[in-house]
Amino acid sequence: MARRLSTSQRVNIARGGALIQCVAGLLVLGGCFGNPPLGRVHGRITLDGMPLRHAFVTFLPEHGRPAQAETDGHGNYELIYAPYRMGALLGPNVVRVSTYQPPEGGDTLDDGTPNPDPGIPELVPEWYNAESVLVRDVQRGDNHFDFDLTTRPPVSPNADGSLGR
């Protein structure tokens, strides 16, 4: 048989529930649970002076989810943070650009033989993707970042040993 709660116990439970609802509401309004502040990010990417078509652009923040886009036929992009949320997290972001796409269906076929589809090769040098030297500081509002990439190696290393121009 269930024990009946006193009036003071019911009031304390109600207060605790209200407190939990207030805290949850503040967290959601404050940017927690998937709604952090974003800056709209768009621009154009070229490689050796030509539009870089169908490349994948990724902005990697110090903490949190990356934002991504695919360039169009003219090299233009606009970052997507999450479904129906355009932009990237505020602050410094390492930028990676890549054209590589693995073979459709993987490296081997169902029968174990090598896949004859080579996929799409990487056209972008490593200093713009896996070892990217590109960093952009995303601010609230509109951020227009064009990237004029070249296949020439960077001129010299930075003082910290990373590649730079």
| The total number of structural domains that make up the chain | 2
Distance, CA of 73 to CA of 6 (rounded, Å): 70
Query: What is the amino acid identity at position 79?
Result: L
**77 and 155 together in one domain:** yes
- 46 confidence band (pLDDT: 50, 70, 90): very high
State the pairing for strand pair 147-149/38-47: parallel
pLDDT greater at residue 105 or residue 136: 136
Task: Provide the domain limits for residue 20.
Answer: 1-35
DSSP bridge pairs for 129: none
**93 and 124 together in one domain:** yes
Distance, CA of 165 to CA of 156 (rounded, Å): 6
**132 and 158 together in one domain:** yes
DSSP state of 127: G
- 70 confidence band (pLDDT: 50, 70, 90): very high
**108 and 49 together in one domain:** yes
In angstroms, the Cα distances linking 121 to 9, 54, 58, 100, 129 are 67, 12, 18, 5, 13
- Identify which of 73, 129, 85 has the alpha carbon closest to the alpha carbon of residue 149: 129
**74 and 140 together in one domain:** yes
pLDDT digits (tens, 9 = 90+) for 146-163: 999 999 987 655 556 555
Mean pLDDT along residues 105-115? 81
**12 and 65 together in one domain:** no
Q: Which residues contact 46 (CB under 8 A, 6 or more apart)?
A: 52, 75, 146, 147, 148, 149
DSSP bridge pairs for 108: 114
**53 and 93 together in one domain:** yes
**56 and 90 together in one domain:** yes
pLDDT at 19 over 50: no
- 76 confidence band (pLDDT: 50, 70, 90): very high
**102 and 142 together in one domain:** yes
pLDDT at 62 over 50: yes
**23 and 64 together in one domain:** no
Helix (H, G, I), strand (E, B) or coil at 19: helix
Answer for the pair 101, 122: CB distance below 8 angstroms, yes or no: no
- 23 confidence band (pLDDT: 50, 70, 90): very low
Answer for the pair 60, 66: CB distance below 8 angstroms, yes or no: yes
Answer for the pair 105, 97: CB distance below 8 angstroms, yes or no: no
